[in-house]
Each structure stands twice: as C-alpha cells, then as structure tokens.
Structure 1
Amino acid sequence: MKSSRRFPILAAMLMAACLSLNAWAQTPAPATRSAAPAATTAAPTAPAPVGGTSGATAEYRLGSGDAIRISVFQNPDLLLETRVSENGTITFPLLGTVRVGGLAVSEAEGRIAEGLRKGNFVKQPQVTIVVLKVTGNQASVLGQVNRPGRYPLEVADTRLTDLLSTAGGVTEFGGEQLVLTGTRDGKPYRLEVDLPTLFAEGGRAQDVIVQNGDVLWIERYPRFYIYGEVQRPGQMRLERGMTLMQGLAAGGGLTLRGTDRGIRINRKGADGQVQEVKPAMNEVLRDGDVIFVRESLF
C-alpha cells in the first residue's frame, strides 16, 4: 500500500526535473567575452589615431611580432598561443592562414569566428583574443631623457606625456622643446611642442596621441657663452626670457677689472653670419649668444 502511494510522488518529482532541465536548455549561451583580458594578464592597447577624442573605446590593433592567445568557448582543442608574423598573419587550426595584422582585437575575433562559422566547424563560435606581449606597436624616445630607447605602446591612448614618462623624463640637460615625428595617413608628420605649455590651461590639445613608429626627440637646453672679465666665464644655461643683466649675474658678475661699458654680443643671424651687437642691459639673450666683457681702462 505504501509503495503504491510513492508512484504519484515519484512521477511528480520526475516531471519537475524534466521541466527544470528543459528551462536550462533554453537559456541563452553566455555572451561573447570582450577582448579585454583577465586582471592577471592585462591586454595592452595601442594608440588610436591622432585626433581621437577618447581612448575609452579605442582598441589595440595587432602588429607583427605580437604574442597572442586565442580561445574558442567550449572548444579547448582550438586554444592557440602564437605570434603575428611579419606580414600580419597567423595560422589557426581548421582555417589555415588568417590575416589579423592591423585589426583591432574585436575585429580579429570576429574574423576568426566568421571563418569557423562559414566552414561549419563551430555553429556559434565565441572567440577571445588576449594580447600577451606587445612588440608590433612601438615608439622611440631619443635625446635628453633618462632612459632613451624604443618602448611598446601598451595603452590605447598613449599620449606624448605618457611616452616621456616611460622614458624617465627629461634630464637636467634637456630643453623645453619636444619634437614628435612620424607618419599620419601615409604622409610625413612633425609636431614641435613647448613642454611647459602642456601643463598650462588648454595645453591638453598639444598632448597628442602617439602612434606606431613615432620618434620623440628632446633637444639639449639652449645655451649662451660668456667670457672676459667675469667671475665664472664659460657656457651657461639660457633660461626663458633671460636678459643680459641676468646673464652677467649667472656668470658671477664682473671682476674688479671688468666694466659694463663696451659689452659686446656675438650673435648668429638668420643668414648664418655672426654679427656684433651692442646690447642694453635689458637685451633678451638668444640661444648661442657669446658675451664679451671688456677690461676697464681706468
């Protein structure tokens, strides 16, 4: 009698389990993961084109030499770690050669997924690409910086100041003029930037986004030379807006035999010829000026 009562209960439990299983089967598959890697393996990002308004939506564009990991959801046999070849291609299982160079990470994911779908290898492929090492997108920093060299562009909106910081900043001999050269839209590109203005109001516009192949050059600081009857003759750093009087002070001032009368400045003109200038004490010095202080006759 007890066993006959259990059958309705067991039947109800079985029916509930079937309904639960059916509801689970109809649940949509997880959405395609974004190209952003896990926290333990941060995906580097490359610079967006100059003029981009924001790096928030910029994606890394794969370059030759980049090391990447490709995985397909629920298909562990398609897991692949490889490098992008010099001609921008990779060899992927079932698909053969796939061109990914120059594509954003999401675009490369879509191209591989499309190949798997069209070949009927995977019905709904969910492809994820993680950039393991950046070597394809780099910029060089030369001149008066603490660590000159070639650096990978690991952030989507790597800007001029970011690259300069990566190189350790400007040395004590560095000037205030930066020169960024490269190519934009297939044409030569050159930008001269006054470093202090980057931190002034509105200076963000000059803090441009760096692109692959760019070269940043930091010139040596401007100088002037002083000799004759001064305490410390020699080469001096030319500060912005420095006058002749300030230049004399930088040289320690005049000696007991020196006079401020008859001071001469040898200055190179626009035509390359050296001219002798009879300056006033408020004369603004220029890069390369040579100051001569005469000896007093009395």
Structure 2
Amino acid sequence: MNTIKKNIIFVIALLFIARTFLFPGISIAEQDSGNHGDYTIGVGDSLSILVWDQANLNQEITVLPDGNITFPLIGNVKAAGTTSKTLARKISNRLNTIFRKKPTVTVIVRSIGNDFFYIMGAVAHAGTIPYTHRTRLLQAIILAGGTVVGAKTDSILLIRNNHTRTVSIEDLQKGEHLEKNIEIKPQDVIIVPMSTDQIYIMGESNAPGPYFYTKGLTVLQALLNAHGFSQFASTGSVRIIRQEKDGSKKIIHIDIDHIENEKKTEQKEYLKPGDLIYIPQRMF
C-alpha cells in the first residue's frame, strides 16, 4: 500500500513539474511566457498560443492589422495593446465557456512585427530606427547619431499612443539620474527640438556671426565654435555684452590670455541667450 501511495505521489510530482516547465500558467489557469512579459503586443507580432491538454488548439498566429487574432472556437480576440499575460487570460476565460474545466493558456511572443520607432529633429540621422528589446531613450538618440549643436536636450518630446510627454537627457549625459532613461516602445516618436535661442560673436573671430545657445555654454566653448581668433584679435580684452531684464546693458570683461585652468572664473563664465561676445582688434 505504501508503495502505491509513493508511486501516486511521484506521478503527481512529475505532472506538476511538466506543467510548470513545459506549460507555465497564470496562477494556475493562464500565464505569461517568454522574454516579453511586459511587452505590449502590436500589429504584425507573431504569437504562439498553447492550450494545456488541448493540443489541437495550439496556434501560431500573426496579429492582424485591426489588432485582432482569430482563435479556434472563440473567434476574434483583441490582442494589440495587451500583454501576453492579459491575452492568455482573455483566451482562457472565453474557452472556459466551452470546456468544463478552465484551460491553462500560455502566450509567447515569437517575433515583433512593428519593430521600429521614429526619431526626428536635432539629431544627426533622423528617421526610422529598428527596435530592439529594452532600448532606452539615450540609446535611441545614440542610434540616431546623437544630438547636433543647438539641440534642446532638456525638452525632448516622446509621443506614445497619441500621448505626449516632455523628457530631459541632460542628467543622463552626465551619468546622473539614470532612472529617467525611460524604455522606448515600438511605434514611439521621439522629437528633439532645435533651440531658437542664439548668442552672437562679433569682431576679430575667424567666423563671426550668430550661434545656437545651449544651456551651460561657456565663453571658450563659444569661441571654439567660431574657430577661434583672427591674427588681429586682442584676446586680453574680450567683452560680453548682455541685455538685462530692465533694459540696461551689462559688460563683462574677459582676459583670455590669463586663463590657465578650468578653475578660473573667466573660463567658466556661462553665457545667456542673446549675449554678444565682442573681440576687439589689438593695437599695433
């Protein structure tokens, strides 16, 4: 008798292990499976749907353009916009109206059909970017060649499912607040706006004219953007002319000749939108 009991327990244990590893379930009835548990199913995705103890219902299905799949016995089921866990539960509940026992359903995302996102604006290579699992915002911008001069990295737009949010990558570029590096989803649209703010360089520069202002821009960085000084420049008499809010003008004198390291105040003089950098001609 003890031998029979042991054999029964052994068989039950084997069945439990088989169901756990071959057909995992949500609680007991349905479960998400594969590596895309949190992934939102989209049009064109290829799915494997397995029904425990009903092998004739197992299906390889592609999500149709209207977002539905057609499953035996229950007809159309909305798949796009759900996770594999939710879809498995839907199918299981529908099948439960046909079978006495609620079936265990497993949904596996085999391949992603809408596997791309879009990026436009102030990046080196705007366009369509192939989506890979777990791509994040900073990676997406790097895949587009990075931002260009004048990009407003503190006000990037992310459009998802017709909803828009504003995000910043300034901290991410410093390796800080990595929790802001949000995950990109297929069909996302990323817009990196171009700054409309400018600063101006006049006088003895190799390339005088207007330049895009970016937050944290210093005098030396601006002068480097303008390819440095001409041979006639008085580098010890550079001036920043700034319009104040009350309409008055503030003049800041910068002696480039005496900047020796980054701790010097002059080198870290941050510019503001609308600043004019004037480089006078030296006296011979």
Question: Which band: TM-score by shorter chain?
Answer: 0.5 to 0.7
**1:240/1:263 Cα in 2 relative to 1: closer, same or farther (>3 Å)?**
same
**What amino acid maps onto 2:167 in structure 1?**
L
1:109 deviates by 1.2
Matched, 1:218 2:192: yes
**1:232/1:76 Cα in 2 relative to 1: closer, same or farther (>3 Å)?**
same
Q: Which runs of 5+ in 1 are unaligned?
A: 1-14, 38-42, 46-57
* Aligned sequence identity (%): 22
**Maintained 8 Å contact 2:71/2:77:** yes
Residue of structure 1 equivalent to 2:137 = 160
Report the TM-score, using the length of structure 2 for normalisation: 0.65
**Maintained 8 Å contact 1:233/1:251:** no
**1:145/1:82 Cα in 2 relative to 1: closer, same or farther (>3 Å)?**
farther
Matched, 1:126 2:123: no
**Maintained 8 Å contact 1:243/1:285:** yes
1:92 deviates by 0.6
Q: 1:219, 1:133 → 2: CA distance?
A: 33
Q: Which residue, out of 181, 201, 205, partners 1:207?
A: 181
Residue of structure 1 equivalent to 2:167 = 191
**What amino acid maps onto 2:141 in structure 1?**
L
Aligned residue-pair number: 255
SS at match of 1:111: helix
Residue of structure 2 equivalent to 1:141 = 119
1:119 deviates by 0.5
Instruction: Please tell me the root mean square deviation across aligned C-alpha atoms, in Å.
Output: 4.5
Residue of structure 2 equivalent to 1:285 = 271
Q: 1:256, 1:105 → 2: CA distance?
A: 69
**1:174/1:239 Cα in 2 relative to 1: closer, same or farther (>3 Å)?**
closer
**Maintained 8 Å contact 2:138/2:169:** no
Residue of structure 1 equivalent to 2:258 = none
Residue of structure 2 equivalent to 1:81 = 60
**Maintained 8 Å contact 1:139/1:153:** no
Query: What are the Cα deviations for residues 138-158 of structure 1, in whole angstroms up to 9, with x where unaligned?
Result: 542223145742443633xx5
**What amino acid maps onto 1:182 in structure 2?**
I
**1:130/1:64 Cα in 2 relative to 1: closer, same or farther (>3 Å)?**
same
Specify which structure has the bigger relative contact order, considering alpha-carbon pairs within 8 angstroms and separated by 6 or more residues.
1
Query: What are the Cα deviations for residues 137-185 of structure 1, in whole angstroms up to 9, with x where unaligned?
Result: 7542223145742443633xx54234335x255156574715132358x
Q: 2:131, 2:238 → 1: CA distance?
A: 55
SS at match of 2:57: strand
Query: What are the Cα deviations for residues 115-139 of structure 1, in whole angstroms up to 9, with x where unaligned?
Result: 223212x845332222122245754
Q: Which runs of 5+ in 2 are unaligned?
A: 25-30, 255-265
Query: What are the Cα deviations for residues 246-280 of structure 1, in whole angstroms up to 9, with x where unaligned?
Result: 6456643353365765857587x99xx9x986442
Residue of structure 1 equivalent to 2:229 = 253
1:91 deviates by 0.4
Deviates further, 172-181 or 18-27: 18-27
**1:264/1:106 Cα in 2 relative to 1: closer, same or farther (>3 Å)?**
closer
**Maintained 8 Å contact 1:224/1:237:** yes
1:210 deviates by 3.9
Q: 2:165, 2:212 → 1: CA distance?
A: 30
> Rg: which structure is higher?
1
